[in-house]
Amino acid sequence: MIVIPAVDIKGGKCVRLWKGLKDRETIYDEDPLRAAARWAREPVKRIHIIDLDGAFEGRPRNMDKIIEIVRYLRDPGIECEIGGGVRTVETVREYADAGAARVVVGTIAAREPDLFRSMALSVPGIVNLGLDCRGEEVLVKGWEVAGGVKLFDLLASTADLPLGEVIYTEVERDGTGGGIADDWLRRVVAESPHPVIASGGVGSIDDIRQAKDAGAFGVIVGRALYTGDVDLAEALAMEA
C-alpha cells in the first residue's frame, strides 16, 4: 500500500473542503507548490492533486499551477495523479504529456461512458476512474449532483478498460477525519478488477491501517496531514 498526500487547489490556494462543499473550505497554504514541496521532503511515491475550481466549472482552471507542481516533483521522482474538470481526451493527453502518472476522471465516466472509454484507450494505464460516492450513488460535477449510475454498475461497465487504478471516495466522510467507509471500501476492493485507492475520512494512523487491511492499493490523506493528526513519516512506515 502507498500513502498519497493530497493537494487540492481552489482559487489558486491549497485548501481542504468539508464533505466536498465548496463553501466549506479551509485554506492551508497560499501556495500549492509549497504545500506539495512540504510532503516531498518525505519519501512519498505519489501526490494527489485536484483542481477543485475545474471540478465545479467543468474545465481545468489551475492547469498552470498543477503542471508547475508536476515538473517540480519530477526530479525527486515523485508521481502525480491529477483530477478536477477533466472532460476531454485532449486534457487527459495534455496532463499525461506534462508528466502526470495518472489522470483522474469521474464525471465523464458516469455521464459519457463512450467518451470515458476513448480517454482510457488513448493513454492506456494513465486514466484513473474517480468513484465519488454517497453510499452507492455516484456523484458528479464536483460532487454536486447525482451521476445517474450506481457504484457497482459503473465498476462493472469499466472493468475491461486499461485503467491505472480506481479511486473510491465516500463523499460524506471526505474532509471530516471521521474514519474511512470500511465496509464499502472492502466491497469495492472485492469487486474491482483494478487496484483501489481509498479516499475520504482518514483522520488517524488507525484509519490508514484499516485501509491497508481492507486491501487498498493506496490511501489518500489530506486534512489529517495538514492538521498534524497524521504524521507523514509514521504513515509512510506502514507502506512496507
List the grid coordinates of 171. Answer: 463523499
Q: Which 3 state secondary structure label does DSSP give 24?
A: strand
- The separation between CA 60 and the C-alpha centre of its own chain, rounded to angstroms, equals 15
What count of residues does the chain have?
Answer: 240
Residue of 51, 53, 132, 207 marked active site: 132
Q: Which residues of 117-130 are buried (b: 16+ CB within 10 A; e: fewer)?
A: bebbeebeebbbbb
User: Active site residue: 8, 51, 53, 207, which one?
Assistant: 8
Q: Are strands 218-221 and 13-18 parallel, antiparallel or unpaired?
A: unpaired
Active site residue 229: no
Q: How far apart are CA 137 and CA 149, in angstroms?
A: 7
| Cα-Cα end-to-end distance for the chain | 7
Q: Would you call 53 a catalytic residue per the annotation?
A: no
Query: What type of residue is 95?
Result: Y
Residues annotated catalytic, as ranges: 8, 132
